[in-house]
Amino acid sequence: FLAKESRNGHKYHNLQESTLDIERYHLQNGLQKALENDEFSVFYQPKYNISDSRLIGAEALIRWKHPKLGQVSPAKFIPIAEEFGLIKSIGEWVLEQVCKQIAVWQNLGYRFPVSVNLSVKQFREETIVQTIRSMIERSGIDPGLLELEITEGMAMDIEKALRILQELRKIGLRISVDDFGTGYSSLNYLKKLPIHQLKVDKSFIDDITRDLGDAAIVSTIVTLAHNLNLKVIAEGVENMEQLEKLREIGCDEVQGYLFNKPLPLAEFDEILYQNFGK
């Protein structure tokens, strides 16, 4: 098959495609067994207040260690999980881990919101509100300590988004719009939907000290957000110059490798201890 392919002009394309298919096949197969084989874990990346560098929250990020392939990025496997109907169970696993962990911190007297990423597909699940409600009840956490990071794609069906977000707000959750500025951006939804925070996408932060356009966009997002009573966090902050620029612009919160990478639980707990004592 390969020999025959190599004689025609599509050789390279087909070879590449079949390599991708093989990888996807392995990932999809692996994902089916990953939950029961305990291959997932949750890492936590701190969020800081920009003015006094206080730790004010964390983002939960899933990690998958495939037995043969090693660490696989969620950017790669989440879309495959969605495609093969596995996102519901994986997403519920993350929510459950995080709610349990918030309960542990809450009982130790640590109080800071932890965010969980929800893909658009998860957000649209019929059962999402009930799932989240029962997880919060079972874990006994203050619902205000759980934040959801959703993307602009959720606003495609604004009526449905409004219904779901209002119910989540009624429970007491915080809502953040992740990767802001990269997706479907009808600004109309910003005033209609009950959200708390915009998270400016890393792609605008990368060159913010050199690219006047990026700086102008971030500055405009901050002004817009503040006028709508929303907070702004910048993701992917990697150096002091970016931090300075974001301070100048008036961004509220920051997150990125300059402060910490996403950390395994034990290392994150160290950071908590350094920040809050106990």
Say how far residue 88 (Cα) sits from the centre of its chain.
16
- C-alpha radius of gyration, the chain, whole number: 20
CA–CA gap between residue 211 and residue 223 (Å, rounded): 19
Residue 149 interacts with Mg ion (CB under 5 A)? yes
Instruction: Return the number of the residue (101 or 117) whose C-beta is nearest Mg ion.
Output: 117
Instruction: Return the number of the residue (80 or 230) whose C-beta is nearest ligand C2E.
Output: 80
Question: Binders of ligand C2E among 119-138, rule CB under 6 A?
Answer: 119, 122
Question: Binders of ligand C2E among 30-59, rule CB under 6 A?
Answer: 45
Residue 253 interacts with ligand C2E (CB under 6 A)? no
Residue 236 interacts with ligand C2E (CB under 6 A)? yes
Instruction: Return the number of the residue (152 or 179) whose C-beta is nearest Mg ion.
Output: 179
Binding site partner of 12, from Mg ion, ligand C2E, none, Cβ cut-off 5-8 A by kind: none
Residue range at the interface with Mg ion (CB under 5 A); choices 34-42, 110-118, 124-132, 259-267: 110-118
Instruction: Return the number of the residue (14 or 265) whose C-beta is nearest Mg ion.
Output: 265
CA–CA gap between residue 69 and residue 64 (Å, rounded): 10
* DSSP type of residue 19: H
User: Which of 3, 75, 187, 212 is in the footprint of ligand C2E by CB under 6 A?
Assistant: 75
Phi and psi based region of residue 162 (left: phi greater than 0; alpha: psi -120 to 50; beta: remaining): alpha
Question: Binders of Mg ion among 194-223, rule CB under 5 A?
Answer: 201-202
- Token pair recorded at residue 138: 């079972």
Lookup result for tokens 């701190």: 46
Reduced DSSP (H G I as helix, E B as strand, rest coil) percent helix, strand, coil of the chain, to 5: 55, 20, 30
Residue 184 interacts with ligand C2E (CB under 6 A)? no
Q: Are 64 and 39 in contact (CB under 8 A)?
A: yes
Instruction: Return the number of the residue (143 or 262) whose C-beta is nearest ligand C2E.
Output: 262
* DSSP type of residue 28: H
Residue 208 interacts with ligand C2E (CB under 6 A)? no
CA–CA gap between residue 98 and residue 150 (Å, rounded): 16
Lookup result for tokens 């990020």: 61
Instruction: Return the number of the residue (125 or 167) whose C-beta is nearest ligand C2E.
Output: 125
Q: Is 237 helix (H, G, I), strand (E, B) or coil?
A: coil
Residue numbers at the binding site for ligand C2E (CB under 6 A): 45, 61-62, 73-75, 78, 91, 94, 117-119, 122, 149, 178-179, 235-238, 256-257, 262
Residue numbers at the binding site for Mg ion (CB under 5 A): 117, 149, 178-179, 201-202, 235
